[in-house]
Amino acid sequence: MPGLVKSGAALIVSIVAVHLTYIGYIRPQAEVVMEAARAAGQSAPRDLVVILKDYEQEICLILMFWGIFLIAGKCFAILKDRYLFQVDFLDGATGNTAAGNSTAGDGAKGDDTGKDNQDLSSVLKSLEGLPHQVRDTPLVRTLTASLRRYLITKNVQDTSDAIDSSIEALAVKLEAENSMIRYLIWAIPSLGFIGTVRGIGEALAQADQALAGDIAGMTESLGVAFNSTFVALLISIGLMFLLHQLQRLQDGLVVDTQGYCESFLLNRISTEEHHETAPQS
C-alpha cells in the first residue's frame, strides 16, 4: 500500500508540474511564435515549444516523468540493499558449529547435531527479528525460507529445492512488478499515433482551403500529426533504455541472491552433513 500511495502521489505531481509548465510557458510561447510566422506568411517553425504544444505531447511527458519515477524507485530499492550481500548472516552459527565439531568425541555425535540445529534455529530467530525493511528484502526472505526448510527436513536437497523455488518466485515477482512500466512504454507511442490521426483528420478537413491556395491550416495540422509521433517515439526509446537497465539490476539481484544462499547456507550445511556421516576413526 505505501508503494501504491507513492506511485499515485508521483502521478499527481507529474500532472500538476507538466500542466503548469504548459499553461505558463509552452503554449503561450508557442502561440507567439506561430502568430509571428503567420504574420510573416511562413509556415510554423520547428521550435521546441511548437513541437511540444499539443495535448498528446503533454500527456506523453506526464507519463514519461511518472515512468522515470517508477523505474528510479525500483533501481534505488535494489541498490540500497546491496550491502546485505556482504553480511554473513550465518557467521555466528558457523563459529559455534566448528567449535562443537572440533571438541566432540564419537560418543557425543548426537549432541553435536542437536547443538548445530539449535544454532541454526537461533539464526532463524535473529533473521525473523530483523527490522522489517531488512526482513522484507529478497535476500533475507529467501535465506529465511531456505533455512526454515532445512530445520524442518534436515535434508540438503530439500533446502536446495527451497532455494530454487524462492529464486523462481522472486524472478516472477520482479517481472510482474514491471508490468505498469511496460504498459507506459506501450501507451506513449499509442498516444503519439492518436495525435497523428487527429492531425491528419484536421488537415483533410481543410483540403478545400488548400485547393484555394491557403495551405497554412493544412501544414499546421500536419505538424500536429508528425510532432506527436516524433515526441512519443523519442520518449518511448528513452524509457525502454531505462527499463533495460532496471531489468539488468533485477537479473543481477536474482543471480546474487541464489549465489549467496548457495555459498553461505547450502555449502555450509552440506559440509556439516558430510562431517556427520563420515566414518569416525
Cβ(188)–Cβ(64) under 8 Å?
yes
Residues above pLDDT 90, as percent of the chain: 38
Burial 238-251, CB ≥16 within 10 A → b, else e: ebeebbeebbeebe
Locate 259 and state its grid cell. Answer: 549465489
**pLDDT score recorded for residue 107:** 41
Classify residue 24 by its DSSP letter: I
Phi-psi region of 110 (alpha: psi -120 to 50; beta: other; left: phi over 0): alpha
Assign 67 to helix, strand or coil. helix
Confidence of residue 153 (pLDDT cuts 50, 70, 90): confident
- Burial of 33 from C-beta contacts in 10 A (0-12 / 13-18 / 19+): middle
**pLDDT score recorded for residue 118:** 53
Distance CA 57, CA 136 (A): 39
Is pLDDT at 219 greater than 90 in this prediction? no
Assign 281 to helix, strand or coil. coil
Distance CA 170, CA 63 (A): 27
Locate 214 and state its grid cell. Answer: 491557403
Locate 207 and state its grid cell. Answer: 483540403
Across the range 14-41, mean pLDDT stands at 88
Distance CA 192, CA 226 (A): 9
Mean pLDDT is highest, among 11-15, 148-152, 162-166, 277-281, for 11-15
174-215: pLDDT as tens digits = 999 999 999 999 999 999 899 888 888 877 777 766 666 666
221-257: pLDDT as tens digits = 777 788 889 999 999 999 999 999 999 999 999 999 9
Is pLDDT at 111 greater than 80 in this prediction? no
**pLDDT score recorded for residue 75:** 94
Q: What share of the chain is helix, strand, coil (3-state, %, to 5)?
A: 85, 0, 15
Q: How far is C-alpha 190 from the chain's CA centre?
A: 22
Global pTM? 0.81
Q: How many Cβ atoms sit within 10 Å of the Cβ of residue 232?
A: 27
Distance CA 155, CA 162 (A): 11
33-89: pLDDT as tens digits = 888 877 776 766 778 888 898 899 999 999 999 999 999 999 999 999 999 898 888
Is pLDDT at 275 greater than 80 in this prediction? no
Classify residue 110 by its DSSP letter: H
Cβ(127)–Cβ(89) under 8 Å?
yes
Q: How many Cβ atoms sit within 10 Å of the Cβ of residue 136?
A: 11
